[in-house]
Structures are given as structure tokens and as C-alpha cells.
Structure 1
Amino acid sequence: MSDHYEPTVVIDRDSDEPLYRQIAEPIEQAIISGELPSGARIEDEISMAQRLDVSRPTARRALQELVNRGLLTRRRGVGTTVTPPQVHRPIELTSLYDDLTREGFTPTTKVLSYEVHEADEEEADRLAVEPGTGVVRIVRLRSVDNRPLAVLTNLIPIDLAPSWTDLNEHGLYRCFNEHGIHIATAKQVIGARAATAEEAELLAEEPGAPLLTMSRSAYDSAGRVVEFGNHVYRPSLYSFDLTLVAH
């Protein structure tokens, strides 16, 4: 029995619809309907081209169309698989941990490093403190349903920083709230860049793979910077949702 999915495709060579779309559409419908579950393997383009009697570029384009739409994921050594459900995060003043829990996912956190040191000039500027002030730099790996999702790096004034233990069990903003620290406003920038070798290993991606980025400076009601975050996310599992209103 084959260990990969071979789509049932009826090729109509007289149709105006391109051949690659005639191949891609049945796979798309199988994914949307749930017939093809998350992680299911799809036959490779060589096998598909031979079985359907189409050119290899046609089969490759059919698969690439679904990759571009986020329905399939290609990884060296693994092949082409159905992409797991994506986490769609609204742009709100909330923590990733709480957002994931609210959406029905099971998030887990691993604290990779917890460094206490004196702020250099750049760190002092980020937190609006004097150079030499005590700060904590924390790096965490956030996973969802046992799949690595994001590497979270936060810089926090030492007098506000939660413990290593608390951060392993809860999201940062929940830790803040439990200690009477309430976020009032934040400045946030979203972007993208290539994964470093270290990030790729942590996130099960290839070095140089595209990652979503988000940096955030969060302030309490008195205007004090309580944390600066610099995070990277796997775009195959994660996206930001924005609602735009015309004035």
C-alpha cells in the first residue's frame, strides 16, 4: 500500500483550464474537506507526472501552487506534506500563549536561556534606562501541539522579570499580571527575514527559510517600558490578522 497520497485526477486536455490547475484542485478539495489530514504525504512530482502523463514542470507547478497558498509544505528529506492548521493571531495587546489557548491549541514553552546582566547602550535605549542597569534577557521556544512555532526573545528590567519557573508554565503577560504589572500600550513592528542556522534548527526549518518577525515595546500606564520583545515565527504555522477601518 502506498505511503503517500495519489490524487484522483481526470485530465481534460480539451479544457481551457490549465493542466496544473486540473491537478491542484482535487488535492485542494481533499485538504479542505479533511480527506487529507495534517502531515499526510503527497506523491512527488516525478511520480505524479508519470502517472498522469503530464510533463514534470506541470506537476511541479501544481504542487507549488498549493505550497504558495500554504496548503502544502515542502521539506528536504521529508517531501511534500499537508500543512498543519495555521495559527491566525489578531493584532491585539495580548500574549501569544493566551491567544493560542483561546484558539483551542495546547501551547508549551521551553526557556532556552535566562541571562541577568548590565544593560549595554542598545539594551538601555530599548528599555529607556541607564546603561549598566540590571536587565534580564530571556529566550524561549514556544510550541503548539508539540510543533515548534516561535522563538521568543525578551529584554526585561530586572525588578520586573518573572522567574524561570513561571515562564516555563505561563505566558509573559500573565506573569506580569499576577505580579501587578499591567500593559497599557505597545509599539509593534511586523516583518520577515531568513532564518539563521540556530533558528532553523529550533523551528525545524531549513537555514535561510523565510520567517515572520515581530518586535514589540510594551509600556505600563505610567509610560515605563516593561519589556522589549523580538520574536520569529514559522509562516507555515502562523500568521497575523489585521482589521482595517476607513475613516
Structure 2
Amino acid sequence: MTTTPLPRYRQIADELREAIASGRLKPGDALPTEMELCAARDISRHTAREALRLLTEDGLIARRRGAGTVVTQPPAPAFAQPIGDFDSILQYARDAAFLPDRARPATAGEAKRLDLTGAFTAYPGLRRASGAAPLAITTIYVLDALAPPLEAVRALTGSISEWVENAHDVSVASVTQRMEAVALTKTDAAKLGVAEGSPALRTLRRYTDVSGRTILVSESLHPAGRFAYEMKMTRQRK
């Protein structure tokens, strides 16, 4: 199978992004100018400008008067979600819009990997907040009998689980959440605009009804620096 190479400006951006992530370029360090990038990489000025634009949009570099283009301080996560209750999960769905690419049947491989029993519809897409860089690659799997039309998902201002409850009079009894650190594949990294192998947080949420049946599963990949979980712990004193 042949793969389409990344555009040259994305290759340049990824190389500079890796230099920043590794610490070879530190906050306050000056980046090469567009003309310097052109001479060093044998690229057009348009290509150099587009590479720097991607890094600027990701908050990794900024133009400073008298200093040119410099590496910025690592940005705070674009979205922080509390851990602890179901309402916080629903709030995330309201604040971070889910933009599905399409609706398709879940594959046999996905069903086996995610322990799905029965036929499920998959909605792959991205999550975004306030027009910023994507917060996550997300795929949501819904039991076929409860799955909403794609147009309904695209129009939602809340979560798919709320739509299922309202449309089918089915109650979500529990949500199990699993989190783990992973490295992004080339394909996923390209969708998120980061370097291949970049760290990411994988979250898997399983929604079950009162009978214990899995009715919805959500799988997300959050690149480092754009999302964080927060948990408040209160000390109990005797």
C-alpha cells in the first residue's frame, strides 16, 4: 500500500515542532526567518510561511518586536475537565463540539478490541473548542438500535448519550472511564497537526444501561498540551 507524503510545509513544521518538544529549541529562542528557512531547506517563501503559520496556530511560536519569531512558553492545556461525576462528562460534550466525518458500521476488529456485543454504528471525527486546534480525535460507537442519524449528531449542542436517552427513553446507569498514555501514529498525528510519535492521552468511556448492556462507547486521543483532567481531593481530618 502506498502512502501520500505530507506536504513540504507540514514536514518543516513537524521538524521544528519536534525540536521544540525535545528542548533543542527553548522558550525565547529565535527561529530562522522565512528567508533563512528558504535558503537552508531549499523551499519557497510560501512553504516557509505556511510552516510557521502552523506552529503559530498551535501556540508554539510568536512574533516579538525586536526579536523576530521566537519559541513561546509551553501553553496551558486548551481544555481542562474535572474528574468525578457524570455531569462533568456531559459538560465536556457541550463545551467541546464533536464534528463527525461520517457514520459507518463498526468493524469486526473494532468490536473485538472494544468488546462490543451486537451491531454498532461508528461516528469518527474531531473535537474542537472555540475554534482552536483540535482537542482530540474521537470515535463514538452507538448500538445500532439507538444510533442517531448523522445529521442529528452534527446538529447536537450536547452529548450523543443525552440524545439516546431523550429519543429512546433509555437511561445511562453508569459510565466506566479508562485513561492511558499512547504515542500517536502518523495518520492520527497528521489529523491533529503534531509530529508522528507525539504523546497523547487515550480515553475510553463505556456507557451501560440499567441492565448492564453497553449502549455507547467513546474513544478519544488527546494530544499533549491541549487537554487535561483535574481532580480535587479533600483531606478528611479526624
Cα RMSD (Å) of the superposition? 3.1
Find the partner of 2:128 among 112, 123, 143. 143
Is 1:203 equivalent to 2:196 in the alignment?
no
Distance 1:163 1:96 in 2: 22
What fraction of aligned residue pairs are identical, expressed as a percent?
17
**Does structure 1 retain, via aligned residues, the 8 Å contact 2:30–2:70?**
no
What is the letter of the counterpart of residue 140 of structure 1? G
Per-residue deviation, 1:204: 1.7
Distance 1:45 1:79 in 2: 4
Find the partner of 1:221 among 197, 210, 216. 210
Q: Give the SS at the match of 2:102.
A: strand
**Does structure 2 retain, via aligned residues, the 8 Å contact 1:212–1:232?**
yes
Distance 2:93 2:110 in 1: 31
Unaligned runs of 5+ in 2: 1-26, 33-57, 62-68
Distance 1:125 1:195 in 2: 18
Unaligned runs of 5+ in 1: 1-41, 48-71
Per-residue deviation, 1:114: 1.3
Distance 2:110 2:200 in 1: 24
**Does structure 2 retain, via aligned residues, the 8 Å contact 1:184–1:220?**
yes
Aligned residue in 2 for 1:116: 105
**Does structure 2 retain, via aligned residues, the 8 Å contact 1:127–1:225?**
no
* Structure richer in strand, relative to its length: 1
Aligned residue in 2 for 1:172: 160
Q: What whole-Å deviation, never above 9, does each CA across 1:19-77 have from its counterpart, x for those lacking one?
A: xxxxxxxxxxxxxxxxxxxxxxx642689xxxxxxxxxxxxxxxxxxxxxxxx9647xx
What is the letter of the counterpart of residue 29 of structure 2? D
* Structure richer in helix, relative to its length: 2
Change (3 A) 1:44 1:207: same
Distance 1:154 1:100 in 2: 12
Q: Give the SS at the match of 1:237.
A: coil
**Which fold has the larger relative contact order, with Cα–Cα distance below 8 Å and residues 6 or more apart in sequence?**
2
Change (3 A) 1:44 1:128: closer
Change (3 A) 1:96 1:121: same
